Amino acid sequence: MKRGPILRFFISWFVCGLGIWIASGLLGNDINYNNRLTVIVISGFILALVNAILKPLIVLLALPAILVTLGLFMIVINGLMLILVSAIYPSLQISGFGIALLAGMVIGLVNYLVTTILERI
C-alpha cells in the first residue's frame, strides 16, 4: 500500500517515540524523561523532524566513512541525532554519547521491526 508523506511522517513520529520509550526502559536511568508521556511524544516528534531534515544531509557528508565501515558509522550518526534532540529539548536527558549510541541502536531496531510489520499490512 502506498502511503503519503504526511502519513509516513506520523508513522516515523510514532516509531521514534516508541523507540525512545523502549530504549529508556532498557537503559534505565541513563535516559531520563521524568516519566512524562509528553516528553516522549515531543522527543519523538523532534527526532522524526531531525531524521527527515538533517539526517539525509549528514549521511551524504559522511558517506565515505559509512562505506569504509560497511555501514557501522550509521550507529554513530543515530547517536548524534539523539544527542542533538536532547540538546534541543532538555526534558529528555541522555547521560552520555555511549548511551546515545545504544539508544540509537534500539531505536533503529524498533524502527526496522515496526516498518516491517506495517509493510505487511
95: Cβ contacts below 8 Å, ≥ 6 apart: 29, 30, 31, 32
Q: Which three cell numbers stand for residue 13?
A: 513520529
Question: So what's the pLDDT on residue 29?
Answer: 87
Q: Which residue has the cell 559509512?
A: 66
Per-residue pLDDT of the chain (121 residues; tens, 9 = 90+): 677 889 889 999 999 999 999 999 999 889 999 889 999 999 999 999 999 999 999 999 999 999 999 999 999 999 999 999 999 999 999 999 999 999 999 999 999 999 888 888 7
Longest dimension (CA), the chain: 40
pTM, to two decimals: 0.91
How far apart, in whole angstroms, are the C-alpha atoms of residue 31 and residue 19?
Answer: 12
Question: So what's the pLDDT on residue 121?
Answer: 74
CB count within 10 Å of CB 46 equals 21
CB 44 within 8 A of CB 14: yes
- DSSP codes, 62-100: THHHHHHTTTTHHHHHHHHHHHHHHHH-TTSEE--HHHH
Residue ranges of domains in the chain: 19-120
